[in-house]
Amino acid sequence: MIKAFFGGTFDPPHLGHFQSIDYIQTTLAIRHIDVLPCHIPPHKVSIANEAARLAMCELFIKTRANLSINTFELEQNAPSYTFDTLQYLRRQFPSDCLIFIVGEDSWQNFTTWYRWQDILSMCHLLVMPRKAQQTMRKNNLLTLPEKGSSLPISINSANIYDILPPNSGNFPKNRKKTHNLDKFKQVSIEQMHQILNNTTHGSVFMTNGSYHDISSTEIRRAIQAKQDVSEWIPEPVLNYIKTNNLYQIGDD
């Protein structure tokens, strides 16, 4: 069985997260996703406290079907390393196919993650496009982590797949990459599912979904500046932010 997890700070959850989830559920046909809010993000400082981020995630998941929240990281009294979370999930689901969903920005920092060499022995990664990678995509480049040229065995031997958009024929043709590894293998969504049905971990899937150029950081800034953010955040989440006076000047 496929178990998909979307980790993040969700400070606050926004349209970018929503669109990623929509693409994964609707186009990639991965039905159920667990939203996994982190406790203490190792790479950034959160502004809203855990209770508020959990409350916003709870409101967020009600905005569409087949979403639930996994509170494992919030319950830990330690930094939320993906490695630790995956060890826990592996113990819980020893023979299931585990998918960890990340944005392309997180993927590019992959080699800075704690025990990153061990991550793909526990799950597949599903990489969603993000704004910073727009230029590279325009130039028909797929991205590898920044230290990709020195990437050791676990990535070299990992299967990195470029998922073709539906009904695309062979488009995009001649997809290049930024580092000197073998060409990415292009697979259809059906072929991706065959891989997921036959393996529990070990592959990286680069998706070709659309992205929305928005981040939680920009939204927090906009709220501080008293700009209208209603296009970017589901209404119940925005009401919660207003009621609880989150992200006001002085909070960061």
Q: Which residues make up the interface to ligand ATP (CB under 6 A)?
A: 8-11, 16-17, 20, 44, 102-103, 105-106, 128, 130, 211-212, 214-217
**39: number of Cβ within 10 Å:** 18
Nearer to ligand ATP among residue 170 and residue 223 (C-beta): 223
Q: Give the dihedral sign, CA 45/51/56/62.
A: positive
Nearer to ligand ATP, 57 or 192 (CB): 57
Shortest-Cβ-distance residue relative to ligand ATP = 103
Smallest distance, ligand ATP to C-beta of residue 115, A: 18
CB of 233 to ligand ATP, least distance (A): 11
- CA distances (Å), 20 to each of 40, 128, 143, 228, in order? 23, 7, 18, 22
Which helix H or strand E contains 8, and what residues bound it?
A: strand 2-8
Shortest distance, CB of residue 106 to ligand ATP, whole angstroms?
4
Select from 17, 13, 67 the least CA-distant residue to 212.
Answer: 17
Nearer to ligand ATP, 103 or 148 (CB): 103
Q: Which two tokens stand for residue 2?
A: 């496929």
Alpha-carbon distance of 60 to 114, in angstroms, equals 29
* Between 42 and 152, CB nearer to ligand ATP: 42
In the bound complex, what is the minimum distance in angstroms from residue 127's beta carbon to ligand ATP? 9
